[in-house]
Amino acid sequence: MEPEKTSRTRAEDLLSLLVSDWRPTPRQSLWAIRLGIVLSLLVAIGYSYGITLWDWIKLLVVPAAIAAAGLWFNRQQQERQRADDWRQQERALDIADQRAQDDALQAYLDQMSLMLTNKERPLRRAQPGDDLSVVARARTLTVLTKLEKKRKLDKDRKGSVLQFLYESGLITKDRRILDLSKADLFMADLYWAKLSEANLHGVYLIKANLIQADLVKADLSGAYLIEADLIRADLSEANLSNAWLRHANLSGAKLSNARLRHANLSSATGLTDEQITAARTLEGATMPNGQKYEDWLKDKEGRREDEE
């Protein structure tokens, strides 16, 4: 018995190497039994009427092909239906999400409007850091976390919030009532926005669209402008000290008298020598090539001397 078990084990090992997972499942075994019964019946009937198994195969090949094609077509239809159902569910969820964002924005604007028009304690008379200002900041930061732009064609609600605060006189540089530091304005659409002398200290404007924005004399110190699009933006006399401008696009941006002390401009694009010369200060700034401004200036002067 032992040699027989050994040879059987070897045969099973060899089969497992040739065909992975060769052992039939109970369902497969049941179908194999059914198929065997059908073939046996066909052979028995054929023997009685002189019909060979090959004749049966030729007779059944067309219906079998049609049945297989039907099964394939039904499966394709089921898969398409599942895909359509999934897309419909996604659209329904997206519509519900967009509606929820609209409701959150409207509720925020209503609350802020009431605070601004309150006769006893209007928000405009609040002092930075007092309870009224703190409540307004909390509401603003909360609503910004709820507003998300998933696609280019989606409504930009974050930009609407910032423009509302600016036009309400709550974030001006000379009298900042609302502290927006750490506010989430990721991918905000501020194309052509009028934000001159706005206080945007420490704001997260990562990947924001600031093309041709008016940011004259704005306070952007410590702001996160990573990958922001600042093409032809007017940053004249703006304070960009300690701002993060990595990978930002500054093509055609106006930097006349702009302060860029210790700003991080590594990998920024579109920055020309004319723009750098026009800036008020770049002390300690990290230049697009990764050098500190002082080292970058020395290398530039050295190259100029070599050319002469």
Band of residue 58 on the pLDDT scale cut at 50, 70, 90? low
Q: How many CB atoms lie within 10 A of CB 171?
A: 27
Top-confidence residue, 227 or 68: 227
Q: How much is the average pLDDT of 275-296?
A: 96
Whether residue 170 is predicted with pLDDT greater than 90 in this model: the reply is yes
- In 118-199, which residue ranges form alpha helices assigned H by DSSP? 131-146, 157-167
Please list the residues that pair with 259 across neighbouring strands.
239, 281
Residue pointed to by tokens 């055609």: 252
The residues that bridge with 198 in the sheet, in sequence order, are 172
Q: Residue 56 — pLDDT band, cuts 50, 70, 90?
A: low
The two three-digit tokens of residue 147, written as one number = 């507003």
Section 180-189 average pLDDT: 94
Task: Work out the percent of the chain whose per-residue pLDDT is above 90.
Answer: 60
Q: What per-residue confidence (pLDDT) applies to 82?
A: 87
DSSP-assigned letter for residue 24: P
Does 192 have pLDDT greater than 90? yes
Side chain identity, residue 266: S
Q: Indicate the residue type of 257.
A: N
How confident is the model over 127-140, as pLDDT tens digits?
988 999 999 999 99
pLDDT at 60: 67
Indicate if the pLDDT at residue 83 is higher than 80. Answer: yes
pLDDT at 2 over 70: no
